[in-house]
Structure 1
Amino acid sequence: MSTSTRTSRAVQFVESFGGPAALDLREVPVPEVAAGQVRVRVSAAELNPMDWFMTSDADAAARFGLSLPCGFGNDYAGVVDEVGDGARDGNGVRFEVGDRVFGAAFSRSVAEHVVVNAPGRIGEGGDVHRTPDGLDDRTASALSIAGCTAAAALAVVDPGPSDTLLVGGAGGGVGVFAVQLARRTGARVIGTGSATSADALRALGAEPVTYGDGLADRVRELAPDGITAAVDLHGTDVIAVARELGAPDSRLTTIAAVVDGVLPANGANAAPGAIEEIARLAAEGLLRVPIAATFPVEEVRAAVELQAGRHVHGKVVVDLP
């Protein structure tokens, strides 16, 4: 049977963009593979804030080049089930049917099948990486977007053993990676979060501090000698505090806002090999990827509601059996 007559399930916005209620699980044609691409049978898709931010309304979707009908989600993991001519990994090795892989598929990962460029880059065409032995698919599905973003942010500020790094939004999806990767450089990490996230932040290696009014005073109590670098993974408040406590603009970065004089970070600009190193660390148990909740694809709306609430400590994963 040709792929043009086969169908599989995908989560899509059909009639309008919007919140979880606008999502539908539909039967769609199985996507076809072109040269330089692979098709993946997805087993797990992890949710990120950017998933619902991009599709919250028609104006937001248009800014990202999205139109109806539109898929949902960006991170995936699964098994290659078809390989196009010339589809190879970053080391030039050809992909084969049956290879376990993970990566990003721009606004279409919550689907039984995705087609991505090989090796590709995060963005519209997607990317694909080999899943190392010892790493399960749920965990692998949580790596690409958040891991690359954390790696790109830390590359801007370049932390090391002599640094006290302030991480804003340390308990979020990107923060989980940023804190641990920064600690591996020897840096001291102070992470902002809610009062209920303190234990989770300590488990990652950060010294927790509650965000909100008075943040500068609370950080000063922890670090009387000041802050040497900062990454703001939520907005701009941490940038203002870091400046007040002595960090130069050259060692500040944001991922969700623009601040004059501060270089923003983008996961699409992560250094080659960064995500493979993150996957290796996770597979070897040297980097924790907490999975807070899993949902079957039939309950994707509930999964999105939980993730969008921004109070879950860990990753939210949608299973595609």
Structure 2
Amino acid sequence: MAVHRTATAWVAEDFGGLDVFREVELEVPAPGPGEVTIDVQAAGMNPADAKHVAHGTDRSLLPVRVGYEVAGIISAIGPDTSIASGGGAVGDAVLAFRIRGGYASAVTVPAKDVYAKPDTLDFAEAANLLLAGTTAAEMLAVTGVGPGDTVLLHGASGAVGVSVLQQASLLGASVIGTASPARFEAVREFGGEPVEYGEGLLERVRALAPDGVAASLDAVGTDEAADVSLAVTADRQRIVTIANAGRAKADGFRFIQGAIPSSQEYRDANRQRIIDLAAARSLVVPIARTFPLDQARDALRLLMEQHPGGKLALIPGPEATDIRG
């Protein structure tokens, strides 16, 4: 395939910590049938970006391209090709999810993973919408959350948690959400009733829900989350975790993950629905901070080691700012 151009990109040259990440120049292939090239305006950041490098074992996959979602402008489109939302032309603003190599200034990706960007989202918001949004949607779907349900959500102020709060509200459910006291207002802002995690969590949850909860959703993966969920949820099939596969297997509740075929199928099928919710401003993506692309390692460190208070994005240009001041 002919070379379209080169782009700045981040790769992991080995498996391990952040020291294995390198900024390199890579060829960007011209798009063939069923492909588009996107000039990236923002790359979304997720813990999975670092975790799949930290836990990798198949060295034949190295170097690993990093980043699952982006937003940007179509700069080239393959012959006889339409994007997933229909149409698509050079100059269109788009977002893409379930791609490889999003930490880049340009990327050629399958058109089936590319959607028109709603005008209501800026590029940083659009680049951070779909991984968290579709994960949250699946958590609610597999536990059957519906009108009138009271739900316990562990990790309510994180990216997935904030999306769960908003989507649960749209379903007519109420949410008790664990968080640190510093993040209580964020939980309330998106419709949840905050409760502090840590020693005594079970008693605090029971005080808010004396009869138990209909479902429990775990976005943190701690044993505390598993223990409290089991204690307050009658039906173990209405408990789900995205971060503690071991406890799910041992205790007979649900574990979902993007790499599982059924999860991938559900999440991919719901991408347009999540975009439509965001287009209507029924689902918002709080952005805490953006970083220049060349500071990806620093951004990942903040993402993995601290609580940034919202999503992070990489900007392949000079516009990166700390939105929180």
Worse overlay, 164-173 or 104-113: 104-113
> What are the Cα deviations for residues 69-101 of structure 1, in whole angstroms up to 9, with x where unaligned?
22222121111112123432345x332222211
Aligned CA distance change for structure 1 residues 36 and 107 (closer, same or farther; 3 Å): closer
The match for 2:63 is 69
- Displacement, 1:137? 0.8
> What are the Cα deviations for residues 10-35 of structure 1, in whole angstroms up to 9, with x where unaligned?
11223x33333332221111233232
CA-atom RMSD in angstroms: 2.1
The match for 1:215 is 201
Matched, 1:138 2:132: no
What is the 5 A alignment of 1:176-187?
176-187=162-173
What is the 5 A alignment of 1:5-24?
6-14=5-13, 16-24=14-22
Provide TM-score, normalisation by structure 2. Answer: 0.87
Tell me the SS of whatever aligns to 2:284.
Answer: coil
Matched, 1:270 2:266: yes
Aligned CA distance change for structure 1 residues 86 and 211 (closer, same or farther; 3 Å): farther
Q: Is contact 1:152-1:266 (8 Å) kept?
A: no
The match for 2:38 is 40
Q: In structure 2, what residue type is equivalent to 1:68?
A: L
- In the aligned structure 1, how far is the partner of 2:102 from the partner of 2:214? 38
The match for 2:321 is none
Q: In structure 1, what residue type is equivalent to 2:15?
A: F
- In the aligned structure 1, how far is the partner of 2:154 from the partner of 2:216? 8
- In the aligned structure 2, how far is the partner of 1:98 from the partner of 1:273? 26
Provide TM-score, normalisation by structure 1. Answer: 0.88
Q: In structure 2, what residue type is equivalent to 1:48?
A: N
The runs of 5 or more residues in structure 1 that have no matched partner are: 120-126
Q: In structure 1, what residue type is equivalent to 2:109?
A: V
Spell out structure 1 runs of 4+ moving beyond 4 A. none
Aligned CA distance change for structure 1 residues 66 and 205 (closer, same or farther; 3 Å): farther
Q: Is contact 2:4-2:29 (8 Å) kept?
A: no
The match for 1:170 is 156
When the two structures are aligned, how many residues end up with a matched partner? 307
The match for 2:219 is 233
Aligned CA distance change for structure 1 residues 131 and 199 (closer, same or farther; 3 Å): same
Q: In structure 1, what residue type is equivalent to 2:309?
A: H
- Displacement, 1:138? 0.8
Could you tell me which of 199, 203, 212 is aligned with 2:185?
Answer: 199
> What are the Cα deviations for residues 200-232 of structure 1, in whole angstroms up to 9, with x where unaligned?
111111111122232211101111121110111
Could you tell me which of 276, 293, 296 is aligned with 1:297?
Answer: 293
> What are the Cα deviations for residues 176-205 of structure 1, in whole angstroms up to 9, with x where unaligned?
111110111111101112222111111111
- Percent identity, please: 37
